Chains A and B, each alone.
Chain A
């Protein structure tokens, strides 16, 4: 089963291969196995929340170059500010237009412009 984020990303028409992690722990297990070009994470997750994941990724020499997008249902500006402070590259609040995600992702990928 694919999450909404995955299926929307797949439908963006970008050549993309998607791995899914149900939570932060799983994400940490998956990270070293692949050379990821993009991370999209939810904020509200048990154990390791999205912000903690951002903090981990952006302080890790190996991973900090990976563009990271936070997606959250809440429009809380505090979460947003924290996320960006921790080094997230973009923050999207649901609901949003697929085109918005597409533009955001394209802006973050090296050498490409929407």
Chain B
């Protein structure tokens, strides 16, 4: 399926630059999806958008805008631009992240993906352009919806050099933290110019353990030739003295602008955080300012992410397949090698050289196996990729169906072969949709059954031996095995007199004729396209089973081999062929017959 998808991709992807663009854009989109997914979770939890996630999304949108602009894709660039605006409002606290916003962002990412997918496909272009226009309009509407905060003033005793250098975003963060009643400190760290990045990252990390770094202002240190001083504006839950000890700094290195609201008395000096001109933004293009502000606010994070990028390589899976094939061909060569060694060993005149060759062959064999294992390992990816997509679908279904259902996920770090993971998306999506649609009852029905208002779908993944097991369970209405059986009889799938165990009756849900009709669904709570799910999983070498208790819920178990590449084979043959092999083996050792045996079966 993956191969087919590739071949239908448009010509825009065929050029090298085109492929690189797509690959980079996909990478950015993937990151945005992850961020958005986490953001959605965080928002669902305490209703507060994690500033770092919003910031990450903003940066990604900014990169995507630049990238697609460079590649001459005006529509994409335009969409990214408006997306960036929306995210900017959000991170400035001028917009509030509601479910409409989340779903809008979700739509935007989906449109980006589909635009990439259809790049170079002229037929699809007008449709995409129209979609972009529509989405831009929706983004603008959302962006302009009223929200945000008033420019409040807070009592702060902070050096004006720092306050003056705060960007609008940093001011917003400062206000937010003051709202929360956190203490505001300025931490001075003196570092060697040559190696300040590490020290700075460390200090920022230590501060983040107890709060947030709002800004990082560099200034000349006491020994300006070799040292640099960073003044970190920090909002924390701890006092200045404690922060200093956490950072292993002299107490004097931490100046406190305001202690926590629930702690000591507030500082007397009233200083408005919005006071004074924001000097560095004047006369600078807004984009440049944004970029500058990003690098200023997030230096430690940037350093970390740059490092991870440089240590990761994106590889086309086809290249890995080629490598795998090469290993296979090598192994066949090695087989011939062994045949020669055996032949030489069989002759007294060449026995010594034969056994040396055999040793070499064994060493080669070991290395080949290591190589094979190495290639296999590279193909492994975490299931998180699929689960994140499921979370998005669930979010969408919640809105569309108006059902209150939570999706709980565990074991997202479980790894599987990349190809399996890709092929898993559709069947899993199907299962989750089924649960939403048919298994979870309407609220009135749930309450009447004594269940909590909110339905729950739980996805768990884990490794069991050579298999990965994924279970999707819900606390919905369950499946009535008798109803399924009755239906099967009615449809002529099984004879009326058939005596089935409960398990066998439930298994009928996977029968093609039965499972495609919604009538079964209404009586049994499930069954749409389960035959397709079983077929898809079967094609991956996996097994699907189902268990259900009426009124309690349904569990669907999917068992998959960890990697496509390890094939569990079953050889069925009568004793005669085994004897045949023994005879041939015996002949193997006599020189002369060997070549034929190594090359062909008889």
Contact = CB atoms under 8 A, between A and B. Distances in A.
A64 B565 CA distance: 20
Contacts of A8: 601
B56 interface: no
A88 interface: no
B181 interface: no
A44 B569 CA distance: 19
Given A4-B581, A4-B601, A96-B601, A45 B511 contact: no
Contacts of A17: 466, 566-569
A6 B3 CA distance: 29
Given A7-B581, A12-B332, A13-B328, A66 B541 contact: yes
Contact of A34 (B335, B537, B568): B568
Contacts of A15: 372-373, 376, 563, 565-567
Interface string B311-332: 0000000000100110111111
B419 interface: yes
A87 B589 CA distance: 40
A6 B571 contact: yes
A14 B567 CA distance: 8
B566 A16 contact: yes
Given A13-B328, A61-B511, A110-B539, A19 B600 contact: no
Given A15-B372, A35-B541, A65-B539, A21 B332 contact: no
A74 interface: no
A110 B417 CA distance: 12
Contact of B423 (A66, A71, A96, A110): A110
Interface in B570-588: 570-578, 580-582, 584
B510 interface: yes
Contacts of B423: 110-111
A47 to B, nearest CB: 10
A37 to B, nearest CB: 4
Contacts of B534: 61-62
B53 interface: no
Contacts of A114: 325
Contact of A22 (B510, B537, B541, B573): B573
Contacts of A76: none
Contacts of B581: 1-4, 7
A40 B541 contact: no
Given A3-B577, A12-B331, A36-B541, A30 B570 contact: yes
Nearest to B596: A95
26 contacts: A3-B571, A4-B580, A7-B581, A11-B332, A13-B334, A16-B566, A16-B567, A18-B571, A19-B569, A19-B571, A27-B572, A34-B568, A35-B560, A36-B568, A36-B569, A36-B570, A37-B567, A40-B571, A53-B572, A62-B534, A64-B538, A66-B538, A71-B573, A96-B600, A110-B419, A110-B564
Given A27-B570, A35-B543, A98-B600, 6 more contacts: A3-B581, A13-B368, A21-B573, A37-B567, A62-B543, A111-B321
Interface of A: 1-9, 11-24, 26-27, 30-31, 34-42, 44-46, 50, 53, 61-66, 71, 94-99, 102, 105-106, 109-114
